[in-house]
Amino acid sequence: MRTFEVQRRLIGTLLEPLPLEERLARALAQLCRNPWPGLAPRAAVFLQEGGRLRLAAAYGLEPEERARCDAAGPGPCACGPASEPLTLPIPAGGASVGALNLCLAPEEELSAATRGFLEETARLVGLVVRHEQTAGAHRRADRARRVLLRALEAALEAESWSGFARSLTETLVEAGGYPLAAVWTRGRGAALDFVAGAGDALEYARSIKVTLDDAPTGRGPGGRALKEGRPVVLQNALEDPSFAPWRSTAERYGLRANAAFPFAVEGRPLGVLSVYAGEADAFEGEELEMLERVAQLLGEVKVRLETGERLELFRAVIEQIPESILITDTEGRIEFANRSFVAETGYALEEALGRNPRILKSDRHSPSFYRSLWQALKAGRTFRATFVNRRKTGELYPSDRLIAPVRARGRVHYVAFGRDTGAEERTKAELTAVLDALPQPVIMVDLAGRLLRFNRAAARVFELKDEHRGRPVPLLHPQGPEGFMKRLEQLRRGGEVPPLPFQWQGRSFRVHPQPVRGLGPEPAGVVAVFVDVTDLEKEAAFRHALLRLMQHVVEAEDPYKLVLDFALEQVPGADASSLMIREESGDLLFVALRGHPPDLLHQRLPSHAQWPIPKNKVGVFRLSPEAHQRSKARHPRLYAAANTAEIREVLYVPIALEGQEELVLNLDAFRTDAFSERDLERMDLLAGTLGFFLGWKKQKDQAAYLAYHDALTGLPNRRFFVELGSKLIARADRGEPAALLMVDVDRLKTYNDTLGHPAGDELLKEVARRLKAALFDGDVVLRLGGDEFAAVLRGCDAAGAEKATRRILEAMAAPVQVEGRVLQPSITLGVAVAPGDGTRLPELLHKADLALLRAREEGRALAFFDAGLEAARSAERELEIELKSALTGGGLDLVVQPILDLRDGRYAHFEVLLRWKEPPARFIALAERVGLGPALDAYVLDRAEALARRLGRPVFVNLLPSTLAVGVPQRPDPRWVGFEVTEHGVLKPEAHAHARELAAEGFALALDDFGTGYASLNLLYDFPLHLIKLDRGLILRALERDDAKARALLEGLVPAMSGMGLEVLAEGVEDERHLAYLASIGVRYAQGFGIARPAPPEAFGG
């Protein structure tokens, strides 16, 4: 009773509407929860899937045990080491579909009744599994039918094969429930090309590689199906070795089974349809047959679409053929006609289809004509003849027709091709009309040179008549173009013949022969077009002559006469000519004549009396006797100097250079109607070409001038000096003297910075003018650039050079007014004289530079080269090298000089000074000349702050002008370091800006040597100064020389500076008397040898 109840509950559980595996799990639980003697409460059900037993349900197993059990299959695994397994097959339909795995309890016996119950339970499970498999197969078959139905609908509606392939795969996924369906086709190589696909795993299909070769990628279901021409199914793809290349990717996408179905086009394997399932054993029986039929649709649709495309193409081609085409059956019923037939006959297509071609019959042909036609067609031959047909309107027309029998699909049809030859006759008439309308002569000859046709122009020009037809053409043979008849053979062979020259009664022609093609391979004749090139040749000759003229014009010194000769040669109606230049006043000045008395040369034609011609336009005007009378009364000199009264017409040719009229060419005729339109056209071309070339020549001359001359002063420039300067002293090597002067304009940069570059330019132009005025005509003055000039005095010795420099310096003595300001030109000269100082230009230039350098160093306006200069320059170069070494190696010394506060008698500051083996004035000036000034100041600044801290007092460091101009990169503590600047150093705008920047950062600025430079009180007012250092010269004049003016200046300046918030320091103090006086007038600080000499910092406790 208990066994029956358990079995009843098991049947109920197994028949519940739940997934199979869930029902099996519940059934195992019911089975194991009832105590059965001899059984342990552990069990598992395995089902066949893809050729192996897979764990479908279990009871009493831990997750790790379930995994081992699934991997190992039925046996002792599920029971453990302490139990024995009991494995019962699950039968279904005469075969085993799985196994029921039970565990025997240790040391217990299983009764026969219990074993029989368990075997019955296994058979019950088999029945349920078999039912589930059968139901699944039916569901899959129904699914495949739905897929096939929708695929057939898509095939009927398909307009493109790729679109159909995409629609088919979407149907398999949507209606079939497959996770992936894809189509591949054969590519050019071994690889298959992906065409379309659908499903959640579509990326899998796009990413994998499938081939047709023997590689692993060619051994899968897709490659094998296409190679073997049959479906290939992998019920458990993940376990199949042939699926190895794609296993891991397929597992990631949940794909477990795969079926591949090949499809072909007209017997040629084209591609494969691949369908995937998410479970094993997914494909069988009727479903596979349906899927195979679906794959075949791919090939059938491909064939249908390609066939349809070919038919459409064939129809489109036939419809475009200009000849009429008619197709009938053997009974003569019209089956097809193209558009040309409709256009030719006038019958609409629907009127012609099904009717007999007798609708075109004209009764112009005999019965024997039609018998011949049918005899040929019945015998399978073509028939060709010219028919006289009748259009729908009744109009008769000739038609050249070819009729042929054609067999298709076992039936005979007759195809007729025809063309309306009446249209050809009309075309010939139209062609004749067109040829007769051509202005060029046209003739047609056969290959023997006999005349076939000619147009009206040929009849008129060559005097051809109808009796010339059929005979050799007189103008071609024998008088015709050289080798014309020989060229016919070349045309016969299919070659091309270039245009041939031809002369006829003083006219020049170009003959253009072209072959006329017939039905055969050879040309039927030759058409020759005669183009009259007489005027073109004349025009080409004119242009060629014009270009030759331009070549001479750009090279000639006086091109005007060449222009007049050319104009008279090209314009035969002209009797005389003249060329005039338009002056700034507008008057015209005669500069060249032909055919006029020479007295007219250099006469002027006033602007108010010039010809009434539009400006910049070639024109002709007539001069009547009355006009001559009026002009003669106004310009008697003009008429007296020329044969003006004889002129009846003037061809007026204005010539513009760079858009501005500068020349006028007049061609004069002593009769009326002397000039033609061609004359005007040619002279217009002459004017434009001449204007262009003269403008180009003018620009070229100007560019050449500017290449060797300074644009500002007009003097020869450095390039002139370098390339041609040696010629200026060419005779120096033969003992003839010559002097080279190097000239520098003083303070030019200062003027540029303070007054602006336009003022500096005016000063340079004035210096250049005075230099030229001071020298002789044979001397050459040059501007080398910037503030540098040079002068070469040929035939001038040292004494002459001294006189010349004196004249130059005297010429510079007078001030010059520039933009409302009065400036004093000042120059420095260096002189070298050949042959004593050398005979080569580079040598003289070097020595004149040395002399100029000496003059600058010594503050003189002039210096001549002497032998000691070179030695001094060499010594200076060596000194420069030593100074650079001292800078880098720490070979310079710092000394300090105290600054005394007169109020308390204590040292308030120190001034840091640089010392070397050379005097400061010398090595500092050298540093400024060679660009080492900023390096000297950097040397001091790197050590200044540390020195001030050791001294316990702030220090002042002198900044050279070159340093202040480029800026001070070092920034010591402004509480310990201040800067001294000179009046000259802060005048430059960039130095001014850098000094203001230092002041803004808190650095104290002292103006050194006040009273020796050019600074005005504006500098004291505008510039952010802290301290003014009065020059020692002013102090000495006031105290040592007892100069009342100097005292008054001091006693006025000091209170004024104090009132402006400036501290005052007196330099050059030598004794107590100086100190007492300076303190009495309000001077705060003092410095000088009377207080303390410069000494090493250690002397002051540093």
Which is higher by pLDDT, 980 or 630?
980
Among candidates 175, 200, 197, 170, which has minimal Cα distance to 185? 197
Q: For residue 513, what are the CA distances in angstroms to 488, 491, 525, 528?
A: 9, 9, 10, 4
pLDDT of 274 reads 93
Q: Is the pLDDT of residue 2 over 70?
A: no
pLDDT, tens digit, 9 for 90 and up, residues 69-124: 877 778 765 555 556 788 888 887 677 888 888 888 877 777 877 788 788 888 77
* Rg, Å, the chain Cα set: 60
**Token pair in block for residue 170:** 């979407």
Among candidates 460, 468, 539, 542, which has minimal Cα distance to 504? 460
Q: What percentage of the chain exceeds 70 in pLDDT?
A: 87
Among candidates 824, 742, 823, 740, which has minimal Cα distance to 783? 742
**Residue 897 contacts residue 1093 (beta carbons within 8 Å):** yes
d(CA 973, CA 976): 6
pLDDT of 693 reads 76
pLDDT of 304 reads 75
pLDDT of 297 reads 81
Lowest-pLDDT range, 26-30, 632-636, 875-879? 632-636
Does residue 352 sit in helix, strand or coil?
Answer: helix
Lowest-pLDDT range, 427-436, 695-704, 801-810? 427-436
As a whole number of angstroms, the longest Cα–Cα distance in the chain is 164
pLDDT of 1 reads 45
Position 341, amino acid: F
Half-sphere exposure of 86 (CA within 13 A, CB side): 20
**Token pair in block for residue 968:** 């001070």
Mean pLDDT, rounded, for 324-346: 87
Structurally, at CATH architecture level, domain 544-704 sits in 2-Layer Sandwich (3.30)
* pLDDT range class, residue 479, cuts 50, 70, 90: very low
Residue ranges of E strands in 455-587: 500-504, 507-517, 523-532, 576-582
For residue 835, whether the previous peptide bond is cis, meaning omega lies within 30 degrees of 0, is yes
Q: Is the pLDDT of residue 153 over 90?
A: no
Query: How does the average pLDDT of the chain come out, rounded?
Result: 83
Q: What percentage of the chain exceeds 90 in pLDDT?
A: 20
CATH of domain 438-532: 3.30.450.20
**Domain 711-865: which CATH class?**
alpha beta
Which is higher by pLDDT, 872 or 608?
872
pLDDT of 481 reads 46
Structurally, at CATH architecture level, domain 878-1100 sits in Alpha-Beta Barrel (3.20)
Q: Quick check: do 158-311 and 711-865 share a fold?
A: no
Lowest-pLDDT range, 388-392, 483-487, 783-787, 873-877? 483-487
Burial zone of 30 (CB within 10 Å; 0-12 exposed, 13-18 middle, 19+ buried): middle
Topology of the domain comprising 158-311 = Beta-Lactamase (3.30.450)
Q: Is the pLDDT of residue 1088 over 90?
A: yes
pLDDT of 891 reads 87
pLDDT of 878 reads 84
**Residue 383 contacts residue 403 (beta carbons within 8 Å):** yes
pLDDT, tens digit, 9 for 90 and up, residues 418-472: 877 776 666 667 677 777 888 888 888 887 778 888 899 888 888 888 888 888 7
Neighbours of 608 (CB within 10 A): 8
Which is higher by pLDDT, 672 or 322?
672
Mean pLDDT, rounded, for 1042-1054: 85
Lowest-pLDDT range, 313-322, 440-449, 1042-1051? 313-322
Does residue 658 sit in helix, strand or coil?
Answer: coil
Q: How would you label 426-443 residue by residue, b for 16+ Cβ within 10 Å and e otherwise?
A: eeeeeeeeebeeeebbbb
CATH of domain 2-136: 3.30.450.40
pLDDT of 423 reads 60
Mean pLDDT, rounded, for 361-374: 88
pLDDT, tens digit, 9 for 90 and up, residues 261-280: 998 877 788 899 999 998 88
pLDDT of 118 reads 82
pLDDT of 1092 reads 93
Q: For residue 231, what are the CA distances in angstroms to 590, 621, 758, 905?
A: 107, 102, 98, 121
Q: Is the pLDDT of residue 818 over 50?
A: yes
* Domain ranges, ordered by start, for the chain: 2-136, 158-311, 322-420, 438-532, 544-704, 711-865, 878-1100
Lowest-pLDDT range, 127-141, 186-200, 594-608? 127-141
Q: Is the pLDDT of residue 393 over 50?
A: yes
Among candidates 528, 446, 436, which has minimal Cα distance to 481? 528
* pLDDT range class, residue 807, cuts 50, 70, 90: very high
As beta bridge partners, residue 669 has 649
Mean pLDDT, rounded, for 115-140: 73
pLDDT of 906 reads 94
322-420 CATH, one of 3.30.450.20, 3.65.10.10, 2.40.50.100, 3.40.50.720 = 3.30.450.20
Among candidates 736, 832, 738, 837, which has minimal Cα distance to 778? 738
Q: Is the pLDDT of residue 772 over 90?
A: yes
Neighbours of 119 (CB within 10 A): 14
d(CA 725, CA 781): 11
pLDDT, tens digit, 9 for 90 and up, residues 959-994: 998 898 888 888 999 999 999 998 777 777 788 888
Burial zone of 95 (CB within 10 Å; 0-12 exposed, 13-18 middle, 19+ buried): exposed
**Residue 905 contacts residue 883 (beta carbons within 8 Å):** no
Lowest-pLDDT range, 59-63, 135-139, 219-223, 353-357? 135-139
Return phi, psi of residue 325, to 5°. Answer: -125, 135
Q: Is the pLDDT of residue 1016 over 80?
A: no
d(CA 952, CA 624): 109
**Residue 1015 contacts residue 1023 (beta carbons within 8 Å):** no
- Compute the C-alpha angle 364/370/375, nearest 5°: 165
pLDDT of 478 reads 43
In terms of DSSP bridges, do strands 619-622 and 649-657 run parallel, antiparallel, or are they unpaired?
Answer: antiparallel
Residue ranges of E strands in 204-313: 232-234, 257-265, 268-277
pLDDT of 633 reads 64
Q: For residue 734, what are the CA distances in angstroms to 731, 798, 801, 836?
A: 5, 17, 19, 12
Q: Is the pLDDT of residue 197 over 80?
A: yes
pLDDT of 320 reads 67
Q: Is the pLDDT of residue 946 over 90?
A: yes
